[in-house]
Each structure stands twice: as structure tokens, then as C-alpha cells.
Structure 1
Amino acid sequence: MFADVRKIAGLAWPVLIGQLAIIAFGVMDTAMVGRYSAVDLAALGLGSSIYISVYIGLTGILTALQPIAGQLYGARQYPEIGEQVRQSLWLAFALMIIGFLILYFPGPLLHLARVPAALYERTLAYLQILAFGLPAGLVFRVYGSLANAVGKPRLVMILQIGALLLKVPLNLWFIFGGLGVPALGGPGCALASTGINWTLAIVGMLLMSRIDVFKPFGIFSRFCWPEWHRQVAQLKLGIPMGLSYLIEVTSYTFMALFIARFGTTTLAGHQIAGNVGAVLYMTPLSIGIATSTLVAQALGAHRPEAARTLSRHGILMAVMIACSYGAIVLALRPLIIEGYTPNAQVAAAAMPLVLIVVFYHVFDSLQVTTAFVLRAYKVAVIPTVIYAVALWGVGLGGGYLLGFDIGGSIPVWLTGARGFWFANMASLGIAGSGLLIYLRTVSRRHLRTGVEA
């Protein structure tokens, strides 16, 4: 077990640092905008929820490159990896058109939240700026998926750390103004992120053409048009993967849209709890990505027993660390919330939600790590069904019943934003259990056949 843990940790720590650098974007946005105005903070919470839903759903489709390239790398089929990357870039081009239109014209989603006019205008401006950064974000995801697939997450981490160093001064400049630039508030965060996204995309493409580890793939050795059979192969895996990401994130997004009906203060408290959960999520996400890389490579090399053992150890590792994190957050909860906002009312709204996050995170770590392992097996359809039933049905549907006290018999402590968070926590527990049971079936099938799916 310890040998597997060392292998997983060796790949996970660069992913974790890189992901923490990216999640720090959101943390800094929340903390800085929270000191600008409560209205801008609420607009940031609503706008970022919508943006993340679009971004994660589309990049989830492109992430199919990781298990595909991972298995090809394990099988030493290097030229085929180059073919798959070229097709992924064409796919990114098509997806960026869809994403741009959704973000630039978000009216239907904003009307669903029934937000005040001032909040509507700030959220609209935030999303329209981010629409121009989305294409670059999709291109960078192709680069990140390839680097992770071949076991080189440090090549992603370095760029993400560099992006964070740029984010701090740009945020300060655009949010609060200076040097001839007016104070933009929440939309200033979007402007900073858009510029950084394009920098990352350009540097990522340059590295894919010049770094030695990528040269055997011949990614830019020739031009090719989209090839139907390769696009279908990626979409066959990528669409259910993207849908599972979309289900996971929209269960949170629509929770934010519904919580917006309880007022600006409650929505701001929800944003803080969501940020805490997102920071914690980075560790099991990193372990999941690392475990998925090793499992895919083992399957490509026709070592199903090693893949099964790695899967088990990666999931156990993630859950044990999540329990430790939960204890730390429970002990430091008031100090953590104080770091986000000086507003006493917002802090009071966030306090019970962060308590739920402590338990929510344990279930979240189970489901995300297991889901990534299943993707390494190129299995995505059944996990998507599990996500839909658990997260939309139990999480969002149950949250609506509890939060708005449908029926009039829900205890007061379980209504409002607390009801949505409690139901979402329960849904993650159901999803994690279902995915774990299904993984046992999939891994046993591979042991019997002795070959990749």
C-alpha cells in the first residue's frame, strides 16, 4: 500500500499546488470584492456559479483526452497521442462557440434567480467579460489533460503558480482602480482572469510544441481536419464525463440561484461556505487525478490487478485526508469566516453552512476520487446516471423541499440555505456509495478479461 501511496502522492502534490493556485483565484476574488461592496460580493457569487457551470461542463468533455492519452501512453502508442490531441483542439474550438453564447447572453439564467436590478447588472457585466476568456480556458484544459495523462503535472503547476502571481496585482488594480483605470468591483475580477487565461493558453501551446516530453507525439508535426471516428470516440467518453461534471456543478449553481431568493446577506454567506468547500475539494480532486493517471497507464500496459489496487489505495487515501481536514475546519471555523468578511451579518449566515461543509467534504472526497478512477477505465455513462439521480434528485430536489419548507413541516434549523446544503451533503454520500459499488463491478470485469475496455 505504501508504495502506491508514494506513487499517487508524487503525482498528486503538483496537481494540488496547481489547483490551489487556481482556486485561490476564487478565494481572492471573494475576499477582495467582499471589501469592495456586499452587492458586488453577491453578484460575484451568482456570476461565478454560472460561469463555473459552463466552464466545467465544457472542459469536462475535453478531459476525456486524459484517460485516452493515459492508456495510449501506457501502451507506448505515442503517434496516436498526437492524433488525439489535434482532435481535442478541434473539439475545443466547437465548444468555445457554445460557451461564449451562454455567457454573453445569460439573461434566462439571471431571470431565474429573480435578483434585484443592481445585482443583475453587476452579474451580467461579470459574465460578459468572462465570455472572452473562455476560449483560452478550453485550450489550456487540453494542455493540462495531456500533461497529467503522461505523468507530468508539474508542467501544469508551474503555469498555474505563475498565473496566481499575476492575479494578485491585476485584481487589486481592476477591482479598486488606479493608474487611470476606474474601480470596477466584481467585473474587475473577470477582466483579470480573462487576461490570465489567454496568457496560459498561449504558453501551453508553445510548451506542447517545444518540450522534449511532448516531442514523440508530434502534435504539431502536421495539420489535420476533424476526423469523424476520432471525434466520436472522444465524445463517446467526453459527453457523459462533461454531463457528470455539469450535474455536479449545476447542483451547486442552482442551489446558489435558489438561495439568492433569501437575500444578499444569505447569498454572501453561501459564497463563503462554497469557497471553503472548494478549497478543501482540491486535495481529493488532486488525488483523483493522480490515481486516474496511474490506473489508466496500468490498464494500457494490461496490468488490471495493479489498476485495481491503485484504485483502492487512492480512494482510501483521499477519504482519510478528508476526515483530517474536517476536524481542522471544525476547530477553526470562526477564524476562517473572519478571514473572508468583516460583516457580522454575513459571518452569521456563513457559520452554520461551514459546519455542514465539514461533513459534506468527506462524502465529496469519496465520490470525486471514485469518479476519476472510473474515468480511467473509460467508464462514464453509469456514473453520470448515478450523479443525476443523487445530485439533481436528492441534492437539488431535496434542497428545494427543505429550503423553502414545501409542506410546512420542516424544522426551522433545516430551512433556508441550511436545507440546501444539508440535502447536497446527503446526495454526495449517496453518489459516492453508488460509484464505489459500481467500481468494484468494473474492476472485477477487467480482472476476468485481463485487457482494457
Structure 2
Amino acid sequence: MNQTFTSREKIKQLLTILIPILITQLAMYSMSFFDTMMSGHYSSEDLAGVAIGSSLWLPVFTGLSGILLSITPIVAQLIGGKKRQEVPNSVIQGIYLACVMAIIVLIAGSFALNPILNAMKLEEAVHLKAYGFLAALSYGMLPLFVYNVLRSFMDALGKTRVTMFITLMALPINIIFNYLLIFGKMGFPELGGIGSGYATAITYWLITLIAIIIVHKSLPFSSFGIFRKLYSVSLSKWKEILLIGVPIGFAIFFETSIFAAVTLFMSNFSTVTIAAHQAALNFASFLYMVPLSISMALTIVIGFEIGAKRFKDAKEYSWIGITIAVLMAFLCGVVLFFTRTEVAAIYSKDQEVIQLTAQFLIYAIFFQLSDAIAAPVQGALRGYKDVNMTLIMTLISYWVIGLPFGYYLANYTSWGAFGYWIGLIIGLAAGAICLSSRLIMIQRKNVIYQKKLAK
């Protein structure tokens, strides 16, 4: 990355970093998209099972990987502050921590998964599909967490095209193995939706191995010598990663787990309603990759500017990012409104599922508008390393405001299942307002600090 002096230069540098991140995120999420979509074409039970499995896995993965996202602002600020000699140890300690986290998740999952699925009171076929999918996916958990550290390192250097190419190479492999293992082609076992879990696990191993090779052998990454020295475990470095990462991870967890909670409550509805809800939620999450990518790009550029104590530039980057996100959300919302039935047909051949999914997708449009503000603001705050207040605001907005309101509408009014979606929209909007207020306050503090430095 380079220092920028005009708004045009900032927009150009932000887009240079953002576009590869967006392509990467869309490709990564496409794995879940194709898992759900291809399973839906196998059977409605497989669609419901894989969608529920994905909705349970997503908050766990995004929450814990959010902890590892702290590597991005840490490395970005080290580079901005010209302390590159400290980068290798930070990355290796992140890898150690990633391995420990993956092992803990595997052990916890082996005890907790069945009780959680039992509490949902699913139809037996859907229960078995969800369990089988998550069990298969667990084989790729360790490499996935390691990959997130390596990706955070590469992205922090502004080389987001590299992770884009890695993911684009892996996506066709995931689709091919989905086809082979879901439908039992070319002598492979016919596993239905469970096969998509194995396909995704194979893909996770592939992208991690590719990332390790690139970091070790290709410039500019190899110049850091990440794997040239065996570092001992540093609890102080773990503490630094966790102090920044845990609030990030929990904030992301509170945001994503609310969708899993809604899925839990939705289990009281019919299989058709569950399938339609999950299909619509899957596509809404797919669109969420746009503001999420902008959020990740803002963390990189703002972290770089804050490391160099260029507070005015950091502020300008944040508002450029939010503006881009809002414009993209409006565009996506208009397109989705006019193509919602066609989008619903991607997930199922069942006309009842298609019609209900199309109705849910109308509410998804309003998701995009709130996310277009909340996600980039969170990314900007991470660049400032301001993460604790974000955690509190996210918890209150989603769990104290959004979910209770949605539960009331779904169970005590005529809105039914749509009530949960209205509650989610209210929670997202509240989060966007609170987080924006926090960002403005942080920026004002930095202006005062910069004036003191000038004196």
C-alpha cells in the first residue's frame, strides 16, 4: 500500500484492495451457496438439513475466525509504523492460536451438536442430514482456521488479489466434488447433502496448502520469512491477538448467531417454511458479502493510515467506503426485487418452496440497506482497533432489540414466520445507528489528538 493525497487516489487504492476481497468473499460463500443449492436439487429434506447445518456452523466459524481477523489490523499497523521485523512472529502466533481454536471447536462440537439438533425438534430425515453435513465439514476445520490467518496476513499487505486467485482456483473443485458426492457420479458414493460437507472440507485443505506455498515462496510474502524460523509459543502475543480479536469475534458472533437463533425458533414451522426461510437467508447472506468485503478493505487501509498517524486520511477512507456500500446495497435491492422469483427457483423445484422463498426475499432487501452501513462502520472501527464498544452495541442491537421483537411478532401477531425477519431488520437498523455514532466519536477524538501533536 502507498500513502494517498487526494480523494481520487484513495478511491482507486480502496477499490484495488476491495475488488479482490469481494471476489474472494463471494467465491468463499459460493461454497455454502452451492452446497445449499445443489442439495436442494437432490431433495427438500437435504436442502433443509444442509441449510440448518450451515446456519449453525456460520456463527461459530465467523465468530472464531473474527478473532483471527485481528491479524489484519496488527500487521497493517506494524507495516504502517515501519516495524516489519515484528510481523513474522505475529503471524506464526496467529497460526498456533488457530490450531488450538480448531481443536477446541471439534471437541465441543462432538458433545454439543446432537443436543442442539434435538432441541430443534426437526423431522428425523432433516436431523440426520444436518448432523451428517456438519460431521463431514469438520474434517476441514483445522486448515480453514489456519487459512484465515494466512489470508489476514496477505490482505494486510494490500495483496488481496492473491487470496482472490487462491479462492477462484478452489471454487471449481468444490463444485465438482459436490456433484460427485451429492449425486454419486463416476463411482463416488451418493451421499446427498452430506456429500457437500465432504466436498467443502476437501476444498479447505486445498486452499490452505496453496496459501502456505505462496507465503513461503512468493514475493513480497517470502521476504518476511514467516516459515523460516521455529517460534516458541508467546502468550504475550496471544494476549495481544485475543484482546483485539475476541471483541471482534464476539461482535461477529452476536450478529451471525442471531440468524441461527431464528432458525431454532423457526423449527416449529413446517419443513417447507424452514426450507424457504433458509434458502432466502442463504441468498441474503450471499449479498452480505458486498458490505462485508468493504468492511475488510476499510480495516486494512484505515489500520495502515492509523499506524502512520494520518488520522484525516483514515477518516476520509471510512466515509468513502460507507458511501460505496450504500450505493451497492441500493443497486442489489432493486435487482433482487424484480428477480426474486427467479432467485428462489435456484434453490428448489418445489413450487410452494419457491413462492414462499420469494416472499422472504422481499425482507432481505431491507437487510442490505442496514448492513450497508453497519458492516463498513465495524470494519473502520477495527482499523482504529476500537472493538470493545462495538461488541456491546452489537449485543444490544441484535439480541436485546431485534430477536425479542421478532419473537413477539412471530408468535403473538399475524405476521407468523415473517415476524422474525422484521425483528432482524429492526435490530440491524439499530446496530447501524449506534455503530455510526461510535465511529463519529472516535474520529473526533483523533482530530483533537492530531491537533495536540501539531502543537
Interval containing the TM-score (normalised by the shorter chain) = over 0.9
2:75 and 2:119 mapped to 1: Cα distance? 40
Contact 1:104/1:131 (<8 A) preserved: no
List per-residue Cα deviations over 1:26-54 (Å, max 9, x = no partner).
22122211111111110011101111121
2:38 to 13, 32, 41: 32
Corresponding residue for 1:70? 76
Corresponding residue for 1:442? 442
Contact 2:33/2:282 (<8 A) preserved: yes
Match of 1:329, SS state, is helix
2:244 to 230, 237, 240: 237
2:275 to 261, 268, 280: 268
List per-residue Cα deviations over 1:301-330 (Å, max 9, x = no partner).
110110011111111111121111111111
2:358 and 2:381 mapped to 1: Cα distance? 35
2:16 and 2:235 mapped to 1: Cα distance? 37
Shift of 1:381: 0.7
Moved more, 110-119 or 370-379: 110-119
List per-residue Cα deviations over 1:78-119 (Å, max 9, x = no partner).
111111001101111110111112333401211221112222
1:2 and 1:366 mapped to 2: Cα distance? 22
Shift of 1:447: 2.1
2:256 and 2:116 mapped to 1: Cα distance? 15
Corresponding residue for 1:99? 105
Contact 2:405/2:423 (<8 A) preserved: yes
Q: Is it true that 1:14 corresponds to 2:40 in the alignment?
A: no
Corresponding residue for 2:388? 381
Corresponding residue for 1:429? 429
Contact 2:44/2:348 (<8 A) preserved: no
Shift of 1:180: 2.6
Moved more, 116-125 or 423-432: 116-125
If the length of structure 1 is used for normalisation, what is the TM-score? Answer: 0.96
1:353 to 347, 355, 360: 360
2:138 and 2:54 mapped to 1: Cα distance? 12
Shift of 1:170: 0.7
1:315 and 1:108 mapped to 2: Cα distance? 41
Corresponding residue for 2:161? 154
Corresponding residue for 2:198? 191
2:310 and 2:348 mapped to 1: Cα distance? 51
Contact 1:251/1:391 (<8 A) preserved: yes
Contact 1:100/1:132 (<8 A) preserved: no
Quick one: which amino acid aligns to residue 147 of structure 2? F
2:367 and 2:62 mapped to 1: Cα distance? 20
Corresponding residue for 1:58? 64
1:57 and 1:276 mapped to 2: Cα distance? 20
Quick one: which amino acid aligns to residue 421 of structure 2? W
Contact 1:82/1:217 (<8 A) preserved: yes
Corresponding residue for 2:407? 400
Identity, % of aligned positions: 28
Q: Is it true that 1:329 corresponds to 2:336 in the alignment?
A: yes
1:47 to 46, 50, 53: 53
1:353 and 1:5 mapped to 2: Cα distance? 35
2:179 to 166, 172, 188: 172
Q: Name structure 1 gaps, 5 residues minimum.
A: none
Moved more, 393-402 or 349-358: 393-402
Q: Is it true that 1:320 corresponds to 2:327 in the alignment?
A: yes
Aligned length: 445
If the length of structure 2 is used for normalisation, what is the TM-score? Answer: 0.95
1:338 and 1:126 mapped to 2: Cα distance? 23
Match of 2:304, SS state, is helix
Shift of 1:181: 2.1
Q: Is it true that 1:87 corresponds to 2:93 in the alignment?
A: yes
Contact 2:344/2:355 (<8 A) preserved: no
Shift of 1:3: 3.2
Q: Name structure 2 gaps, 5 residues minimum.
A: 1-6
1:47 and 1:102 mapped to 2: Cα distance? 16
Quick one: which amino acid aligns to residue 160 of structure 1? T
1:421 and 1:353 mapped to 2: Cα distance? 8
Q: Is it true that 1:415 corresponds to 2:421 in the alignment?
A: no
- Alpha-carbon RMSD across the aligned residues, in angstroms, is 1.4
List per-residue Cα deviations over 1:235-285 (Å, max 9, x = no partner).
101111110111111001111121122021111101121122112111111
Q: Is it true that 1:129 corresponds to 2:130 in the alignment?
A: no
Match of 1:262, SS state, is coil
1:102 and 1:47 mapped to 2: Cα distance? 16
Shift of 1:203: 1.5
Quick one: which amino acid aligns to residue 448 of structure 1? I
1:201 and 1:370 mapped to 2: Cα distance? 29
Quick one: which amino acid aligns to residue 246 of structure 1? F
Contact 2:302/2:317 (<8 A) preserved: yes
2:210 to 181, 203, 220: 203
